[in-house]
Chain A
Amino acid sequence: MSNPFIIEIQHLTKTFKHAAEPAVDNISFSINRNEIFGLLGPNGAGKTTTISILCGLFPPSSGTVSIDGKDLHSELSDIKNMVGIVPQDIALYPTLTARENLSFYGSMYGLYGKNLKDKIETWLEKLGLIDAAKRQVSTYSGGMKRRVNLIAGILHQPKILFLDEPTVGVDVQSRNVIIEHLKEINARGTTIIYSSHHMEEAENFCTRVSIIDKGRILTQGTPAELIRDNAGSTNLENVFLNLTNRKPRD
């Protein structure tokens, strides 16, 4: 454990086919072990693109990434084994029940048998889904789907967890429950990379954040540092709006 960084990103750039501008434009940063790192930015800033590259969905156009000392390009399969993902779009089979979905995804991450069953029941219980667990996911409310979507990414206790806007559309009660559980997971040794536009949540949740826009990093630091360094800001939302010019985005 000589390397304090669990993720090191250098000059990462992604230009999609037929796109005029890069979605991620030459960004470099590192994430410490056991951090809760926030990727904050308006719509289209490049948060999902960055996360997609980090978990190996597609390769970057240029730049290098190393995760826990392994090269993303050449050691992808090792990396996949230590990563958990909660995608922004619900990734569940609508005609399967919550249990069936979780059982499938858990198996894909190498869990099986009683261990898998127990973990599923524990998490369904924790996130208040036991009563609905027998129903097909298509009959769930948006917030319920989001909670199942979350469980599917954390069931196997990954070393690194990517959360792409995990609390969108979730009511306040569930949101707090989710955040508390994520903090607990982090306390047990999982590094979390979290994207959001929800500044209040990020301020309370993240140990460090990076504010990005148009694929570039605008600023980076602990929430307290950013508020202190931006004159007139009393919270992270002020900082965010100041830096990103208050215009609505695509």
Chain B
Amino acid sequence: MLHKLLATVKKELLLLLRDKVGLSVLFIMPVALIIVMTLIQDSAFKSINEKGIPVVFVNNDQDSLGNQILQGLMTNELCYTTDSINGKPANSELAQKAVSEGKFLVGIIIPKGATAAIRKNVTALVNETINGEAASSILPDSVEITILIDPVAKKSFLNAVTSNLREFISEVKTKIMFQTFSEQVAELIPDKEQAPKNSYQKSQIIQYKEIYASNATEKIVPNAVQHNVPAWTIFAMFFIAIPLSNSILKEKTEGSVFRLHTMPTPYLLLVNGKIIVYVLVCLIQFLLMLAVGKFLLPQMGLPALVLGNSMMGIFVLTLATSFAATGFGVTVGTLATTDHQAAIMGSLSILLLSALGGIWVPSYVMPEVMRNISSFSPLNWSLEGFYKLFLRGGGVADILPEAGKLMVFFFATMAISYFVNRKKRTV
């Protein structure tokens, strides 16, 4: 049996090595994609130095809080702030879209009635302190300011920007509160000296909501390299479906299938030979892409890929991804009846799964609905796993759910292929 398996692997390797187009699809295309996509997205950072940080401001408040923050930002030299997008007044939706597209690095949304809410809360607070009334209803009413952040922005840079912003916003807020407060207190008690100075600090009246897409606050923002290298590597790994399905179909159309199905060798063994070779190809692809991320991109003035600290985790996840990609290719090759069909079916489905999976646009900037759909794409499982390893310092244990799902996907594709193949062979 081992001799047979080795012979199958050898045959498959030879076939692949002689397929120059297939090889270039497997190795040159992903390198090109990584470089181009990273360069495009990285240029978003460069513009910052020239005009200042592009900030879009959505003033749904149209009252003291909103107006004062806008004014402050406008006069700040570090920021290039605008409250319109393409000539139209900015609203929350437009701003979210523009930020996710990288037109602005930061978006700030002041909710409607923010100033009024602060005033109301302060009034209640005053009543609490002065009259001893229960004021537990304060917190639900607190004002939420949303800060949108470009998902490809560098993290260190963003921390600086957002903490400055926060400081400034809370300054404005404090000013408004203090004004309201003094007015209220002046109404109630003429003696300002007795006013409880600290009480507005004990409750955080304005809450910040930083979103990279949603309110998933513990999500770490990858930079262009940290996103693109794993993303396009996964994409390339799934692209083996094209040469793999092609190799399966060629065997059908070139007549070998007559021999393959009448030989005293289980068809499964032949398929296993293919799987071994293509999983190996995936692993080589992965190493190549890591090398590009670590050594080539820095040469081009881009940040170097940071691998995290679990080599074992990377290996397990890569292996699982390779199996999932290979299983996918076997299924495409089994479902299609001509190599033309396989090429179309393969490339379209991979484009679709990759778009859904957050390869092109990270899934955390997608709208809620899409994000939910996204979690059905095996490319997304893999990408999430790599984020955990590369960005959140995760280890093997952390990526086991992703790796597990990918392996389940592999076994499912093998089962589908097995049954489809049986059905197709009944003539």
Whether both chains belong to one complex is answered with yes
Interface string of A84-99 (1 = CB under 8 A from B): 0101011111111000
A17 interface contact, C-beta 8 A: yes
Distance in Å: Cβ of B251 to nearest Cβ of chain A:
8
Partner of B263, one of A16, A96, A108, A112: A108
Does B425 contact A58, Cβ atoms closer than 8 Å? Answer: yes
Docked CA distance A107–B9 (Å): 12
Q: Report the count of interface residues on B (CB-CB < 8 A).
A: 26
A172 interface contact, C-beta 8 A: no
Chain B residues contacting A93 (CB-CB under 8 Å) are: 11, 15, 254, 256
Distance in Å: Cβ of B1 to nearest Cβ of chain A:
10
Docked CA distance A127–B242 (Å): 37
Partner of B259, one of A77, A95, A100, A105: A105
B265 interface contact, C-beta 8 A: yes
Chain B residues contacting A80 (CB-CB under 8 Å) are: 262-264
B261 interface contact, C-beta 8 A: yes
Chain A residues contacting B397 (CB-CB under 8 Å) are: none
A136 interface contact, C-beta 8 A: yes
Does B264 contact A96, Cβ atoms closer than 8 Å? Answer: no
- Please name the residue on chain B nearest to A111 by beta carbon: B3
Partner of A96, one of B8, B14, B261, B262: B14
Distance in Å: Cβ of A114 to nearest Cβ of chain B:
13
B175 interface contact, C-beta 8 A: no
Docked CA distance A152–B261 (Å): 14
Chain A residues contacting B255 (CB-CB under 8 Å) are: 87, 89-92
Q: Which residues of A, 148-172, contact B by the 8 Å Cβ criterion?
A: 152-153
Does A16 contact B258, Cβ atoms closer than 8 Å? Answer: no
A20 interface contact, C-beta 8 A: no
Chain B residues contacting A94 (CB-CB under 8 Å) are: 254
- Please name the residue on chain B nearest to A56 by beta carbon: B262
A248 interface contact, C-beta 8 A: no
Partner of B15, one of A17, A95, A153: A95
Partner of B11, one of A91, A96, A109, A136: A96
Distance in Å: Cβ of A163 to nearest Cβ of chain B:
13
Interface string of B394-427 (1 = CB under 8 A from A): 0000000000000000000000000000000111
Does A58 contact B18, Cβ atoms closer than 8 Å? Answer: no
Distance in Å: Cβ of A162 to nearest Cβ of chain B:
9
Partner of B10, one of A17, A58, A83, A104: A104
B192 interface contact, C-beta 8 A: no
Interface string of B5-32 (1 = CB under 8 A from A): 0111011001100110000000000000
Partner of A89, one of B7, B14, B258, B262: B258
Does A95 contact B263, Cβ atoms closer than 8 Å? Answer: no
Distance in Å: Cβ of B20 to nearest Cβ of chain A:
10
B4 interface contact, C-beta 8 A: yes
Distance in Å: Cβ of A156 to nearest Cβ of chain B:
9
A227 interface contact, C-beta 8 A: no
Does B11 contact A100, Cβ atoms closer than 8 Å? Answer: yes
Chain B residues contacting A105 (CB-CB under 8 Å) are: 259, 263
Chain B residues contacting A56 (CB-CB under 8 Å) are: 261-262
Does B426 contact A58, Cβ atoms closer than 8 Å? Answer: yes
Docked CA distance A136–B19 (Å): 13
With A91-B258, A152-B259 as known contacts, state yes or no: A104 contacts B11, CB within 8 Å.
yes
Chain A residues contacting B264 (CB-CB under 8 Å) are: 77, 80-81, 108-110
Docked CA distance A90–B259 (Å): 10
A66 interface contact, C-beta 8 A: no
A57 interface contact, C-beta 8 A: yes
Partner of A91, one of B4, B256, B425, B427: B256
Docked CA distance A39–B264 (Å): 24
Does A57 contact B262, Cβ atoms closer than 8 Å? Answer: yes
Chain B residues contacting A58 (CB-CB under 8 Å) are: 425-427
Chain A residues contacting B4 (CB-CB under 8 Å) are: 107-108, 110
With A80-B263, A80-B264, A95-B19 as known contacts, state yes or no: A107 contacts B7, CB within 8 Å.
yes
Docked CA distance A93–B426 (Å): 24
Does A109 contact B263, Cβ atoms closer than 8 Å? Answer: yes
Docked CA distance A57–B261 (Å): 6
Chain A residues contacting B262 (CB-CB under 8 Å) are: 55-57, 80, 83, 85
Docked CA distance A4–B367 (Å): 76
Partner of B254, one of A16, A91, A100: A91
Q: Which residues of B, 91-136, contact A by the 8 Å Cβ criterion?
A: none
Docked CA distance A91–B259 (Å): 7
Does B18 contact A108, Cβ atoms closer than 8 Å? Answer: no
Distance in Å: Cβ of A206 to nearest Cβ of chain B:
23
Docked CA distance A246–B258 (Å): 31
Interface string of A105-135 (1 = CB under 8 A from B): 1011110100000000000000000000000
Docked CA distance A25–B1 (Å): 39
A103 interface contact, C-beta 8 A: yes
Interface string of B260-285 (1 = CB under 8 A from A): 11111100000000000000000000
Determine which residue in B19, B254, B258 has the highest number of CB atoms from chain A within 10 A of its CB, and name it: B258
Docked CA distance A93–B251 (Å): 8
Distance in Å: Cβ of B22 to nearest Cβ of chain A:
11
Docked CA distance A166–B383 (Å): 53
Chain A residues contacting B263 (CB-CB under 8 Å) are: 80, 105, 108-109
Sorted nearest first, the 8 A-B pairs with minimum C-beta distance are A107-B7, A89-B255, A80-B264, A95-B18, A112-B3, A81-B264, A91-B255, A87-B258
A→B interface (CB under 8 Å): 16-17, 52, 55-58, 77, 80-81, 83, 85, 87, 89-96, 100, 103-105, 107-110, 112, 136, 152-153
Interchain Cβ contacts under 8 Å between A and B, 16 examples: A17-B426, A56-B261, A77-B264, A80-B264, A81-B264, A85-B258, A89-B258, A91-B254, A91-B256, A95-B19, A107-B4, A107-B6, A108-B7, A108-B264, A109-B264, A136-B18
